[in-house]
Every structure is written in structure tokens, then in C-alpha cells.
Structure 1
């Protein structure tokens, strides 16, 4: 282990001790953290960043809570995940005010990104589609979360920016990975190096967002899409995302072989049989989603503190059981 890895591990251990725990809200099917709320409904998991007074800036505790939410069994069994931000802005990136008070900024940033990146890796590995409602100011790590979505909905008046170079830092939250793939290298360089601020309509034209609506519409539209996807063939969605993600790294022959093998595998699922039968009968299919582990009453849903394990030390490879988005 390098000195940097050891420092990061120490910071993550300290963060484990300091952060709060989520508990179930007795009045609804949800788990409430201090900076994040998680709501479950009909196969849909809604993660809402809940620091509107700070424009949902990500500090150490919020990063931990996002990871904790992805570790809950009900989240892992979701048929669709929706991410949104409370208030007028989705997420402006890291909480710079909290960073300034740290005695060792490199260690602290390693801790924050360790939790956030582990959470993003888990979300990307899920077969369930990920929908993001990105309104208002979207910057830094917030931009990374917006780029992670399979469907990202925005609204007029919103802006997207990298913002890292403006404060003398390099990117995180997979922005250096996702931006070139979504926008192309030159446009990614324009945003990250030149600091170009992308308005909502142009974000759709460039391929960063799926669609844009009138002011105030992003969350309702994203939720409608997420609810529809939550009733779909989850296993087929996951395999489709995996094939799309891996296509750029393969030859045509390799992709064709994987398509054939994957099609045969997905054809064994109950949703495939239901989809074909419904099509032939000219009725709406009743998909049930991919087979998954039984959902147990985890600690959060019993009202007890949620265990928040540390993610791997910075530099270790994250295990990926599914697609890379």
C-alpha cells in the first residue's frame, strides 16, 4: 500500500466513525438520512439529495449516505432508480466550505471521493435503469451524477459545467470517463479545460441530457419515465446497457457473438416469455423484472442504524458485476 492509499484509508476510517445513520420513516416506505432521503414505491427507488440550502453540495456525510443507500437490499433489488436534488438545483458538486475547514485537504478529498465513487460504481453495475432529474445549477460531481444516468432529464434555465479547473482541481465523479463518451473529446475538453457552461437545450443537442422541458418540469417528467421503466423487463434493460457500454471496446465479430449469447440467456427469463405472449395476444405485458435475491427487512427498515461499511481504498479496482455506464 502506498502512502497515499494509507492516508485515504485513515480518512475513510475516521469518516466511518463520524457519519450518521439512516432510519426508516414510520409514516412512509422510505429511509431517511440526515442529507439524503430514499423512497421505495412499486419497484422504483428514489434517491433525493436533501441539502437545498447548500444547493445539494456533496460533503463527506452525504457521500457516505449515498453509498449506504446503494447498499440497502431494497435498492439493490430495484427495477429502476431515480436520482434528484431537493430545491431549485440538482447538485453543484463538492461542498467547498466543508473542504476549507479540513486539516489535510488531500486526505479529505480522498475520503469523499472514495465513498461517492463506490456508490456510483454500484449504481452503474445494477441492471435497473438509472434516471436523473437535473435542474438548476449542475456542476462538478453533480455533473458526474447527471452523466451517469441512462436517462437524464433537465429543464429550461438549467446549466451544466465542469468547474474543476476554476478552483485548481482535476475532475472526479467519472466526468473524465463519461464526458468524452457522451459528447466527444473536443466538447469534453471545451467544458473541462475552457470552462464552457452548457445551457439545457444545448445539453440535449450535445448528448449530455436526454430531453429538456419547461422550467419546473424536470422532476415530474423524470419520475414519469422512471415509473414506466420500473414496470419493464429489468434483466433485458441491464443486458442492453452492458452491450452498449462494451461495444466501443470490441470488434464487430466479438459484439455479434455476445449479442447471440446474451439474447439466448435473456430468452430464458420469465419476462421474455411474457413479452412474446403479450405481443401475440395484443395485450400489455405484465413484466416482473429480473430474478433477484429475496428482499429482507434490513437494518434500516427495522428502524435500527444502517451499517455504513468503508469502500475499498483509493486505487483499488471496484468489482463490477454488471454493465459500466
Structure 2
């Protein structure tokens, strides 16, 4: 594998996509703790020109979890992990609240916090060699990054208990079947496919995508009646907005829509 340029910033803009590097080969693809604060800030203060967020690792793995050697070396392990989890959680919350889709390119292992970030992505692209694992029980710890909230909502309560308590390794095909990964491509195509998808989403109807993310989030706690009311309000508001007007007009005129930015 080619060496990684560790001078590349953890957070950068690629035209209309915010690219967040959460792990590099420099620390054995462990979670890049230094990336968490600037990443959360960039997501919270998202530039209006950004239409999607891409999460990636630049080493052999998407993210192998927190750096356990750093945990062990900390004079105050509890304080160290409290601070690290706090920084991670600010990023998780910022991603959840973002008005744009979040795509993850998941090569190799997504373990611990890496798996949590995959669970929080809207669309996760993996390959045949992709593996997910909670990894927390193996070192006597409990989940962070929202895994105990996200995982049951993806795979169901019973499967989540089994995965977490047995510290299960989930191969790529099972991860797709369970809904943890959206689809598989060749291992060599993960990064390119994820980046291309992020740019495609960024070029789409951004107002509609933001509203769809809101609807999906609200559905977790709404009753059916409440969700139907929210859907009615949302589609009516979309029809009155520039994105909805352009989409309908383009369809009738049989032309490609020119989505407002």
C-alpha cells in the first residue's frame, strides 16, 4: 500500500463535499482524536456550498477504533476517555443534525468508534473485505459514539444485544443484510464510489434531502398519525419552495432539473 501523506488536513472541502478523515495509517488507523474537534466545528458551521459529507479513513482500515495504547498510557484513564468520548459525541451529534447526507467509505475494519460512525452514516459503502466489530467488550469497556442507540434502531434490539454482548465480528455480506452497510463494491473501488456518491448527492435537491433526513429522524419517536401530519406539512412546504417547484416544472417539461443552491 502506498504511504499516506500525514500532512493532509483531517477536514477539507472537495468542491461541494466536506471530506472528514477519521483515521490514517500514521496511528495504525486508530481514531484520529485530533480530527474530532475541527470536524465537529466544520459540520456545525457547514458552508452553504456543501451538499454532502464524506467520512473516510486513508489507511488499510476505515477506523480500527480508539488508540488503546493511548488509553493505557493515560495517567487518568477515566478522564482521558471521558474527554475523548465527549469530542467524538460532539461530532456524532453534528453529523446527525447536518442538513446534508453523510456518506461513509468503509474499507477494511470499522471497529469501536469506527463502527459507531458507520452506524450514524446515511449511506455506507463497503467491500468484500470490510468487517465491523463493536470491540468494546474485548477490552472491558462499553460503547460510545452512539452505538447503543443507533445499532438497535438498525438491526433490532435482539440482534443488537447479541452483537454487542458477544463482540461479534460482522462480515461484509452480513453487514449489508443487517442494514449496517448500504452496498458492496470491489475493495479497490470503495473510496472512489463513496466520493462519487457524495458528489452526486451534493448535486441533487438539497432542500428535499434535508427534509427527508428530518422526517426519518422524527419517525423514531412519532406515532403514525404524528408522522403522517409531519409528512403532509413537509411535502406541502416543499411544493411551495424553489426546489419543489423546479422539480415539478422540470418533470412536466421533460428536462433535467436545475436544482437551486
Q: TM-score, normalised by structure 2?
A: 0.92
1:55 deviates by 3.4
- After TM superposition, the structure 1 = structure 2 runs for residues 6-21 of structure 1, keeping only pairs within 5 Å, are none
- After TM superposition, the structure 1 = structure 2 runs for residues 1-325 of structure 1, keeping only pairs within 5 Å, are 36-58=9-31, 60-74=33-47, 78-289=50-261
**Does structure 2 retain, via aligned residues, the 8 Å contact 1:154–1:218?**
yes
Helix, strand or coil: the match of 1:267?
helix
Structure 1 stretches of at least 4 aligned residues deviating more than 3 Å after TM superposition: 32-36
1:77 deviates by 5.1
Helix, strand or coil: the match of 2:107?
coil
1:242 deviates by 1.6
**Does structure 2 retain, via aligned residues, the 8 Å contact 1:139–1:163?**
yes
**Does structure 1 retain, via aligned residues, the 8 Å contact 2:21–2:35?**
no
1:104 deviates by 0.8
1:59 deviates by 5.1
Q: Which protein has greater RCO, CA pairs closer than 8 Å, 6+ apart?
A: 1
Helix, strand or coil: the match of 1:217?
helix
1:217-240 per-residue CA deviation (whole Å, 9 max, x = no partner) reads 211111121111001111211111
**Does structure 1 retain, via aligned residues, the 8 Å contact 2:117–2:145?**
yes
Cα distance in 2, alignment partners of residues 225 and 249 from structure 1? 29
1:73 deviates by 4.3
Cα distance in 2, alignment partners of residues 288 and 45 from structure 1? 19
1:5-50 per-residue CA deviation (whole Å, 9 max, x = no partner) reads xxxxxxxxxxxxxxxxxxxxxxxxxxx9968433323321111235
Helix, strand or coil: the match of 1:204?
helix
**Does structure 2 retain, via aligned residues, the 8 Å contact 1:232–1:288?**
no
1:261 deviates by 1.1
Cα distance in 1, alignment partners of residues 119 and 182 from structure 2? 10
Pick closer, same or farther for the CA change 1:55–1:286 going to 2, 3 Å: farther
| Other-structure match for 1:15 | none
Pick closer, same or farther for the CA change 1:281–1:42 going to 2, 3 Å: farther
Runs of at least 5 residues in structure 1 that lack an aligned partner in the other structure:
1-31, 290-325
Q: TM-score, normalised by structure 1?
A: 0.74
Runs of at least 5 residues in structure 2 that lack an aligned partner in the other structure:
none
Higher helix share: 2
1:187 deviates by 1.6
Q: Once superposed, what is the RMSD of the aligned Cα atoms?
A: 1.9
Count the aligned residue pairs: 257
